[in-house]
Structures are given as structure tokens and as C-alpha cells.
Amino acid sequence: MGCEWRLHASKLADGVSWAIKSITNSEHTCSGLDVKNLMVSCAWVVRVLLEDVRANNDITAKLLNTLLFQRFGVQMATSTLYRVRQHALSQIHGSHDESYAHLPKYCEVIKLTNSGSAAFATWKELPDQPERPLVFKSIFISFSGVLNGLRGCRALIGVDGAHLKGNYGGVLLSAVALDGNNELFLFAWGIVTTEDGDSWSFFVWHLKNSLASLGRGDNWCIISERQKGIDISLTDVWPEVDRRYCCKHLAVNWKKSFPGPLMFSLFRKACKVNPAGRVWLSKLGDQKRWSKHKFNTELKCDVNVTNFVESFNATLGLDRSRPVLTLLESVRRNTMVRMAKRRQVCETWKRQDICPHIIKRIHQLVHESRTCIAYMSVEGEYEVQDGKSVLPVNLNNHTCLCNVWQLTGIPCRHGIRAIIIARLDPHSFVSDLYLVTKYKEAYSCGIKSIPDVEQWPPIDMPHINPPPMKRGIGRPSRVRKRSDDGERKGKRAKTVRCSNYKAFGHNAATCKGGMSAKQKASYGKEGKKKQQALPSSQPALGTRSRSRSAAAIATSQP
């Protein structure tokens, strides 16, 4: 407005090239072009910045504005740029509504590409609407290649749920085992709308049928947090399976019934300290569900917490907020890559008898066994003295009175001391579940890739809609909500010290040479450190007291 500069151009006959016809008033009478160009639309910005959003899905609006100004000399409002990013993510990962519509076909494609896999999706009608639309309810996925790999793992299965952060929420249920190298082995996962008894019954029922195909019977053990509905579902659907409870979450419930730091610290010895604690623990059921000395020794696993399942939930990251189809494909792709990498890495191990993590564990136990004294008894067995206690060790049966050897399948420090006295190799007394051959059996199969949605064959499946949206109070949060006993992120307590000049208050990355500005202010012009003033609550020293101190110092010096 108010500028006489004009440029006239028109498109040529080829429909691509443009030609400038005339320029009038070549000198501008205004301050320049406005960066708020009204011709810059969301669709245009999505097209020109799509690859930048693809490279960084969490790119900020400020950085998008910087890219627009550097490349095109224009800027947009911050709220508009966040909407631009949302449209770009919809083009990259697909929309949330379309993802739910693809889930029935996705299960059929899994069965076609990976024969023998278990993939089931369920939906329901909404009776309160006249059209009675079909909405998503749950989905269960377990690939045959991963399921067959359970033959090389231990029979302990951890189950847990992770809440999703997408538009429609939901919970990701997962089942994780432990291989011979004490690494996570994910073999089944699914998505449900809410975490309740019906959802867990659906997941446990398909989990039971999938494990039945391995031919190991009911020799499984499931450890859980006793979360919403899981305990009741196992009782109704799979009552014969062995169960364990996470002691970490039991301690939290224990603290609610018996408050106070003393009782919480004595949770392991509660039966001896408080008679009411014995009654509280008896209501949990059989002792083999929460007490180590009653655990099934055939599992060769003494794990009594579900931290390894929560470790898998922590790997989801930003995929929790993605559409469900993108989330499921991300879990499948990560599992496929993990199996392929471990299958290649195990071929490069120096020792081909025992897995590396178990070897490190044995070396640590050998170091700990130095405090034990072993001698042979009259019956030909070994007795190991550990402090004031004497524990019998049987090398033929691989047993020790501490029960650690029987539970883990790895010799305890008492057993290792007896093995060393007998001049035998401790590695030969490790259970067969920790052998490299079992590890290779777990990762011998793999997961075949799944084509993109555009390449799926025509499959006649009903069109389902997303579940009803349940909008919570406040702004949706991606940050994990820590439990009451969880560690809190606090301020770093230690003082930062520069490695270049050994000065406190900054590190080497932010070092500008010498002391920091705060430290320089504490020193005077002569280079001597300033004396701190006494607090106002203390009375100032009088002249008489100062003279006495000076006289005392003068007389004490030679």
C-alpha cells in the first residue's frame, strides 16, 4: 500500500515458464516486502516443509518459522504452524480415524505374509446411534517367528499395559519373556480401549491359545502388578497357570495399610515384626506367588518384579501418540530388527557355550565367593561357611541351602566356592537354558515384512470407526506419570567444575576462560577473596573484642 512499484508477468504457452512483461517505478517507496504474506497457505507450507517434519516429528513452530524465513522470506503465526505440523504428520503417518479402519485388513495381511501367526481384531456396534456403526474394541498380535522363539526362553512371562497418548487414548498390552542372555523377548502385544477385566480376558485367552501351539502345556508362569482386572481374568480364563506378583507394587500397597518408614523398610520381614502383616500377606493367596522360597525351581528365574516389562514400555517413546496402525508397525519393525541383530551378534561371540551376561555374572560370583570357606563333610558333600552360617552344597544335584542355585540355575557364591575347591569349572554347572544354543534357537526365526497399505490385496472386511472419544480434563500430557514411590527428577546436587581451569560454577562446554562472573564478583581488586558479612541476627564485634583478638594474634607470633 502506498508503493508505486509494480511488476507484470504472465505464463507462457508451455504452461510452466513465466515471463516478466514490464516493471514500473523500479525504486521502492515503502520499507520492503511484508513477511506476513497472505498468499502463504497451510497447504503450501505443508508441501514445502514436509521432509523437515518427516525428519523431526517434534519440530517446533519457532524452527518452522525460521526455515520459512530463510528459504522464502515469509513467516506465519505460531498457532498456524502447529496446525501445519499436524497436517504434515497426518500425511506421513496417516490419520487416527483411517488407522482404525485398516485394522481388520491388517490382521488378515499378517496371516498372509507370516503364516501361523495369531492376529485378531474385534469390534462392536453402538446401539445408541440410529446407524449402529461398528467401532473398534481390541486387537491381539503374535507373529509365528517370535512365538516359536519362546522355545529358547524361560517360561516366565511378564504382562503389563501402557497408556497411549493419541486422539482416542487406549492401552497397549504386551507380553515379554527373558532369553538365555537375560534380554527382553517381546512375543505378543495388543491394543484395547480401556484396561478392565474384559480387555484382559481377551488378551489372556488369545495368549493361552498361542502358547498352547508350542506344546509345553501349562508349564508357564505369569508375573503381573495385579493391575485392573488381570488377576480376575487369569482366574477365569487360565486358572491352571502359575502366577507371581510384583513385590515392588505389593510394597506400595503394604505402605498404604501400614504407614510409616519403619514398616515399609521391614516389608521383607513383616511376618516376624507385625502379626497383622502376616494376616495381610495371607490374603494374597499361595506363598509361591509372592515369596521367593516358594517359587517354582523349574523356571530357573527368581524375578519377582515387573521392571523388565516396564523397560519395554519405555522404548515406545513418541509412538504412543501416533495412530494405532503406525504404532503397531513400529513395534513389529523394532522387534524384527532386534531379532535380526541378535541373530548376527551371537555368531561373533568368542565363547559358544554360555551367553556373555551369564559369564559376567559367574565372574562376579567368583569374586564374591572369596569370603566363603568350603570343606568336605563326612557324607562326601560340601559345607560352605559364610559368616556365622554353614550351608550344605550338593554338586551332583546342583543345590544349596540358600535356594539361589535352584531358583536361577546359576551357581551361588557358596556353590562356586565348593566347585573351586573341587577343582571343577563353574561354567559347566550352569543350566541349559543359558547356553548359546538355546539363545540361537530363540532367534532362529524372524518376522517377514508387511507391505504398505496401498499394496495390500483386496480383502472383504467391514469398515470400523474409532472408539468413542473420551476427552480428559486439562491439556493432554506426554510425560510419564510417576508413582508415589517412583524416583523424582530433581536438581543436580553436586557442584559443576570445569575440567579446563578447575574452576567451579561452569563446565568445559560453557567455559570462557578463568573464573565465572559470580566468582570474580566475590574477589576484590587485589585478588583476595572478600569476607562475607555476618548475619544481621548476630551482634557486631566491638572495638574492645577486636583489639583483644589482634593482641592475642600478635603475642602468639614469634
- What pLDDT sits at residue 95? 83
Q: Backbone dihedral region of 502: left (phi > 0), alpha (psi from -120 to 50 degrees) or beta?
A: left
- What pLDDT sits at residue 535? 45
| DSSP-based three-state secondary structure for 261 | helix
- What pLDDT sits at residue 548? 42
Contacts of 164 (CB under 8 A, 6+ apart): 170, 171, 172, 191, 320, 321, 324, 327
- What pLDDT sits at residue 261? 73
Cell of 427: 561354567
Question: Could you give the CA distance from residue 459 to residue 223 in angstroms, rounded to a whole number?
Answer: 38
Residue 447 CB neighbours (<10 A): 21
Burial class (CB within 10 angstroms; exposed 0-12, middle 13-18, buried 19+) of 540: exposed
Q: Which residues of the chain have pLDDT under 70?
A: 1, 31-34, 217, 263-264, 268, 270-274, 378-380, 472, 476-495, 514-558
- What pLDDT sits at residue 266? 72
Question: Could you give the CA distance from residue 252 to residue 264 in angstroms, rounded to a whole number?
Answer: 8
